[in-house]
Amino acid sequence: MSLLLHAPSAAQQRRTAYRRRQTVRSVLVAASSTAALGTLLVTAVTGAPGWDRVRTSFLDPAIARDALPAVLDGLWLNVRLLVCCAAGALLLGLVIALLRTLRGPVFFPVRALATGYTYTFRGLPLIIVLYVLTLGVPGLRLQGMPPVLVLGGLALVLTYSGYLAEVFRAGIESVHPSQLAAARSLGLTYRQTMRHVVLPQAVRRVAPPLLNDVVALQKDVGLVSLAGPIDAVRAAQIATAQSFNFTPYILAGVLFVLLAIPLIAVTDWVTLRAARRQSGG
């Protein structure tokens, strides 16, 4: 009972009060410096000689309100494309990573093909892959040719799977070989070892960079507008051509940022959690 009723010492109370004061002081200093910097930036921008013209051309509330429904409809296409492309790129990237980690001379051709794939699509600019698949492939006039939107999504999957494959491979190779040896000594096959021992650890270790690539993919899905589908960027372009005002582009950019904020927050949370796990906290 005496332990439960134990009160903190005077020194401990002083330390707690000091830390509380320091926290409040830090918050006040951060808020003041942020407000000062924001005021300085706003003053510098709004005081520029051409601010009135820029505000009329890029920040017209009436034009933004008129363009909002069409841009939102296009953004819904971007969201669906992001979900499909992210799933496809993650799956294909994992397969390529597994092929690159196969051991034995008999699998050398497979490893060479997987290596060439990652080198090629990590080196090719995404816009070139988009143009080849969405403008060049339909020119073959093959039977059962998928629509341009599917071809654009395929370009995104092929490009990003090359990056994700290297992330997965780094995670797989970070697992110590002794764990593979221990699993094999317990009678697990290579497939069972990868599934139950290696991959769970590998995916957990590389979750932050994987999510960072998904955030980058969220921005690049807007490039499919180059092939013709009416997504948020294309809708903004159409509205700009009708009003001769660039405000719809700003509107589309703001919506993309709002779309990315939850994913970025999840990425930061996973990164912080992984750092605490490694530090033992």
Token pair belonging to 134: 């969405």
Amino acid letter at 22? Answer: Q
Residue 60 falls within a domain, yes or no? no
Report if residue 22 sits inside a domain: no
The whole-angstrom separation of Cα 180 and Cα 196 is 10
Q: Which two tokens stand for residue 189?
A: 């096959």
Assigned domain for 38 exists? no
Q: Which domain holds residue 223?
A: 74-279
Contacts of 122 (CB under 8 A, 6+ apart): 162, 163, 166
pLDDT digits (tens, 9 = 90+) for 143-179: 888 899 999 999 999 999 999 999 999 998 888 888 8
Look-up of token digits 């309100």 = 65
| 110, part of any domain | yes
pLDDT in tens, 186-234: 888 888 888 888 888 888 888 888 888 999 999 899 999 888 888 899 9
Number of domains in the chain: 1
Alpha carbon distance 36, 25 (integer Å): 16
**Residues 213 and 126: beta-carbon distance below 8 Å:** no
| 42 lies in some domain | no
pLDDT digits (tens, 9 = 90+) for 222-266: 999 888 888 899 999 999 999 899 999 999 999 999 988 988 888
In a domain, 196, yes or no: yes
53 within domain boundaries:
no
SS3 172: helix
6 domain residue, yes or no: no
